[in-house]
């Protein structure tokens, strides 16, 4: 280590040759888990073992918390890890933690203490921002550190990648769940008329919109889809629900948890969110969907039920998308290759080469192009009456598969 | 038709020969749908078409409501119906309706008006009670009517059958969901400690207990399971949760929606249910699980989230059990055979012949042995710390399959 600023190119070459840089490689899983986050970890470990057998792979516990508090353990090299490919939850432990400038320095010093010069973090937008800060801080402190980001979020809100591992399985879950709940409600319409289904998506509507995948006509469920990218108008919705319910006898509505009103304020279970927080953390007893269901029941005088698809969206093993699984693993492999090739400051990406038949490859993008940004869903892909654009269906098809809608009896 | 009491045996024989009795056969789907209720309908229609080609099969709309209001339509004979095998929701329309003695007579008269002498109703305990009343009333009125029951309920609370079609798929959904939510929570324990998962089961705990299928040690989720067959003690639960959370860092609890307190009163979202009902019908914004999660959060000062598995338990196509699908269809076939063989007053049953490898057959039981009864889950099958008896796991195995629990990392 010298006092001089670290020269990116030269030192890379030196360390790659000496193998010093890659004697210890740390990896963490940040933020909420997905159904395939362990698949990326599997790909990462497998590829490191293949390419740099002597490397010690160090698992950081509980995401950013573990990085900040220097809680890490070596992953025993002899153990079989195939089980990671199909197991939801973050096997290393997840963690949500906003880092201050001081925290960032603490993280770098923690890595220095352990002589770790290579770091891979799997996470979303916030994590990519943290990756960039850690990389900059290390450079500022003259500590040689490679940082690579592995994209992961069911929200699908990361720039520069066609989509993020975790989203395809979540989308598959949501699309099937809403088709099934629609068939269930259709048959119950003689005593239950309206159902409000809430999906994940704090700021973006990719998941909520995926609920329209199996829908082919305005009569199929879902009949209305609301995403955070468009301002939500309660009165307009009530009028639409009344109209649909009158026409079909029932109405299924999908709402993204991050819905905002016409003043751009988030809507919570108690109507407009007044910012009140529970000191003990989140107790999600009902979000925006509960509020909307309550309004529909009271204002329209119909039986209205609220269904929160909940945490299963990010962990349901029965909805695991084979494509998602393959891509998550490939993204982990690519992160390993980038690190061992001396790269730093990049997030792995997925590039879509062709829709039908679907072809893809991994790539990478600099943190600067993804950190702090948010990739919105194009609400122009949402049509009237819950229909979604054919282009969005085609884009989703590799993740969900055959999109036959349910049928109805032909009776005399 | 004569005034004399209808002689079961002789008339059967006459009509079978003449084919009169089976020129019109009516069928209805009563109560909440299941993932395989249409599979039974498919088996029923297919078998009738095979055995009595000239029979007109009449679908009753919206369950009991349609029977009472004489809303029925002939099912067009030429249409392919294979789609029924994998489509959730009741294709004929479901309906919940308690029938008075007068209603029963109205139903019989409605059938008489249409000259329908054969009726099959798919439903649960309440439906089997109604089947019996309709059959008795027809006999009293001197109207020849055969009535056969097709068991259907995710609750699995019907006597005389090893289990009910619909339950296996629901159990598969619950077992997988709880294993997945457990893996998700385990990885989140640094900022979310307790999760309360609510399952269906108004009066019985079969489904809630199925959540323990993948669990092998007390450390695996679920850590606590509560069923309606045992009185729920809040203080005891709080002590147990605190203990488990201290030991493992997190705790996943499964509660059946029909939980009752030590005074045998149902517990609702607002604590003990005071019987208040919403005039517009059910708006399920949170049941017993919401109440318990609230208590845990406030009393133990931990982050506690409530997850209601909701209607997906009875309709999730991704959780469709192949065994359930096969049995549902066979039960429908058997109902057709019983009717065409001149039987009446019976519900189709499933008999388990052998556990491993699983062998089964269909049978039948008189309504009098099932109507108005409830088959409870043996709470002795629930052990300490959410463990379920091996005998219950063996019994569930044909429905859910391989029961490997999730793994954990081995770290230095």
Rounded CA gap, B126 and A206, in Å? 43
Confidence band, pLDDT 50/70/90 cuts, at residue B281 = very low
Q: Tell how strand A194-199 and strand A304-308 pair up.
A: parallel
Measured between alpha carbons, how far is A320 from A54 in angstroms, rounded to an integer? 33
Residue A158: the pLDDT is 98
Q: Which of B103, B155, B157, B220 is catalytic?
A: B155
Tokens, residue A295 = 């309004």
Q: Quick one: angle between helices B390-400 and B322-340, nearest 10? A: 80
Q: Of A88, A286, A301, which has the smallest distance from its Cβ to B183's Cβ? A: A88
Task: Let me know if B378 is a catalytic residue.
Answer: no
Q: What is the pLDDT of residues B294-346, one digit of tens each?
A: 999 999 999 999 999 999 999 999 999 999 999 999 999 999 999 999 999 99
**CATH entry, A8-165+319-369, from 3.40.50.450, 2.40.30.170, 3.10.20.30, 3.20.20.70:** 3.40.50.450
CB burial of A105-120 (b: ≥16 within 10 Å; e: otherwise) equals bbbbebbbeeebbbbb
Alpha-carbon distances of B155 from B177, B178, B228, B375, rounded to whole Å: 17, 17, 12, 10
Q: Quick: pLDDT tens for B378-403.
A: 999 999 999 999 999 999 999 999 98
CATH number for region B171-317+376-400: 3.40.50.460
| pLDDT for the residue numbered A105 | 98
Q: How far apart are CA B132 and CA B101, in angstroms?
A: 12
Interval B365-376: pLDDT, tens: 999 999 989 999
Q: Work out whether the CA dihedral B29, B34, B40, B45 comes out positive or negative.
A: positive
B202 annotated ligand-binding residue: yes
**Residues whose CB falls within 8 Å of the CB of residue A127, separated by 6 or more in sequence, listed in order:** A30, A31, A64, A121, A149, A152
- The pLDDT of residue A15 is 43
Residue A161 — very low, low, confident or very high, per pLDDT cuts 50/70/90? very high
Q: Report strand pairing: A56-60 vs A72-74.
A: antiparallel
CA–CA separation, B245 vs B223, rounded Å? 10
| CB half-sphere exposure, B254, CA atoms < 13 A | 33
* Per-residue pLDDT at A21: 74
Per-residue pLDDT at A143: 97
The whole-number average pLDDT for the span A26-51 is: 97
pLDDT digits (tens, 9 = 90+) for B78-105: 889 999 999 999 999 998 888 999 999 9
Q: How confident is the model at residue B20 (pLDDT cuts 50, 70, 90)?
A: low
Closest to A406 (Cα-Cα) out of A248, A249, A180:
A180
Q: Are B200 and B155 in contact (CB under 8 A)?
A: yes
Q: Which pLDDT value is given to residue A269? A: 61
**Most A CBs within 10 Å, among B199, B278, B318, to test the A interface:** B318
- Please give the Cα distance from A308 to B11 (Å, whole number): 54
Could you tell me the maximum CA-CA distance found in chain B, to the nearest angstrom? 86
**Residue B184 pLDDT greater than 70, yes or no:** yes
On average, the pLDDT of chain B sits at: 91
Over residues A269-290, mean pLDDT: 51
Quick check: A18 pLDDT over 50?
no
Q: B403 — contact with chain A (CB < 8 Å)? A: no
Amino acid A271: pLDDT: 57
**Chain A partners within 8 Å of B65 (Cβ):** 190
Cβ atoms of B347 and B367 closer than 8 Å: yes
Domain ranges in chain B are 8-165+319-369, 171-317+376-400
More confident residue, A10 or A77: A77
Do B8-165+319-369 and B171-317+376-400 fold alike per CATH? yes
Angle ∠(B137,B141,B147) on CA atoms, nearest 5: 45
Q: What is the CA radius of gyration of chain A?
A: 23
DSSP B111: H
Res. B77: pLDDT tops 80: yes
Bridging pattern class, strands B304-308 and B194-199: parallel
CA atoms within 13 A on the CB side of B309: 33
Give the model confidence (pLDDT) of B33-63 as tens digits. Answer: 999 999 999 999 999 999 999 999 999 999 9
From chain B residues 26-45, the ones with a CB under 8 A of any chain A CB are 29, 32-33
Tokens of A30: 């940040």
Taking 90 as the threshold, does the pLDDT of residue A87 lie above it? yes
| pLDDT tier, B259 (very low <50, low <70, confident <90, very high otherwise) | very high
Confidence band, pLDDT 50/70/90 cuts, at residue A388: very high
Give the H/E segment covering residue B167. helix B167-188
Look up the ipTM and state it: 0.93
C-alpha neighbours within 13 Å on the C-beta side of residue B214? 24
Count Cβ atoms within 10 A of the Cβ of residue B80 and give its class: 0-12 exposed, 13-18 middle, 19 or more buried: exposed
Q: What is the pLDDT of residue A20?
A: 60
Specify the DSSP class assigned to residue B317: G
> What is the structure's pLDDT at B274?
39
Report pLDDT for B405. Answer: 85
Q: Which residue has the higher pLDDT, A283 or B307?
A: B307
Query: For position B271, what pLDDT does the model report?
Result: 58
Is pLDDT at A72 greater than 90 in this prediction? Answer: yes
Q: What tokens were used for B303? A: 């982050």
- How does pLDDT run across A174-223, given as a tens digit for each residue? 999 999 999 999 999 988 999 999 999 999 999 999 999 999 999 999 99
B 170-199: CB under 8 A from A: 173, 176-177, 179-192, 195
The Cα of B38 is separated from the nearest Cα of chain A by a number of Å equal to 11
Q: Which residue has the tokens 């109604």?
A: B130
Rounded CA-CA distance A208/A89 in Å is 22
Overall fold of domain A168-316+375-400 = Rossmann fold (3.40.50)
Out of A62, A155, A157, A240, the active site residue is A155
* Alpha-carbon gap, residue A17 to A22, rounded angstroms: 10
Whether residue B136 is predicted with pLDDT greater than 80 in this model: the reply is yes
Lowest mean pLDDT segment, chosen from A85-94, A279-288, B262-271, B284-293: A279-288
Of B216, B223, B156, the closest CA to residue B195 belongs to B223
A135 pLDDT exceeds 60? yes
Check: CB of residue B295 under 8 Å from CB of residue A276. Answer: no
Distance of alpha carbon B352 from alpha carbon B161, whole angstroms: 9
> Cα distance from A285 to chain B (closest Cα, Å)?
6
């Amino acid at each position: 280590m010298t006092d001089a600023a670290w020269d990116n190119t030269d030192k890379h070459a030196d360390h790659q040759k000496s193998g010093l840089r890659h004697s210890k490689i740390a990896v963490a899983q940040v933020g909420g888990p997905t159904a395939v986050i362990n698949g990326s970890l599997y790909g990462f470990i497998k590829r490191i073992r293949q390419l740099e057998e002597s490397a010690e792979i160090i698992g950081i516990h509980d995401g950013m918390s573990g990085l900040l508090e220097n809680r890490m353990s070596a992953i025993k090299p002899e153990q079989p890890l195939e089980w990671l490919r199909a197991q939801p939850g973050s096997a290393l432990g997840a963690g949500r933690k906003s880092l201050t400038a001081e925290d960032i320095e603490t993280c770098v010093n923690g890595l220095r203490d352990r002589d770790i010069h290579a770091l891979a973090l799997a996470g979303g937008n916030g994590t990519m921002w943290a990756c960039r800060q850690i990389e900059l801080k290390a450079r500022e402190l003259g500590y040689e550190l490679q940082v690579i980001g592995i994209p992961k979020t069911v929200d699908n809100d990361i720039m520069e990648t066609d989509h993020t591992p975790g989203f395809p399985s979540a989308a598959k879950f949501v699309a099937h769940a809403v088709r099934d709940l629609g068939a269930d409600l259709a048959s119950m319409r003689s005593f239950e008329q309206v159902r409000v289904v809430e999906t994940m998506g704090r700021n973006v509507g990719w998941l909520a919109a995926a609920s329209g995948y199996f829908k082919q006509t305005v009569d199929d469920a879902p009949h209305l889809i609301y995403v955070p990218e468009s301002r939500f108008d309660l009165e307009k919705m009530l009028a639409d629900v009344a109209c649909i319910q009158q026409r079909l006898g029932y109405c299924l509505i999908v709402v993204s948890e991050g819905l905002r009103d016409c003043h751009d304020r988030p809507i919570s279970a108690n109507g407009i969110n007044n910012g009140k927080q529970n000191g003990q953390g989140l107790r999600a007893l009902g979000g925006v969907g509960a509020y909307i269901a309550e309004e529909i029941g009271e204002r329209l005088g119909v039986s209205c039920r609220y269904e929160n698809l909940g945490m299963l969206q990010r962990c349901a093993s029965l909805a695991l998308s084979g494509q998602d699984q393959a891509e998550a693993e490939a993204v982990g492999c690519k992160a390993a290759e980038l690190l061992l090739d001396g790269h730093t400051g990049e997030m792995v990406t997925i590039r879509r080469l062709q829709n039908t038949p679907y072809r893809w490859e991994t790539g990478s993008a600099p943190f600067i192009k993804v950190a702090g940004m948010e990739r919105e869903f194009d609400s122009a892909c949402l049509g009237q009456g819950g229909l979604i654009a054919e282009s969005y269906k085609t884009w989703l098809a590799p993740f969900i598969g055959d999109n036959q809608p349910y049928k109805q009896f032909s009776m005399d």
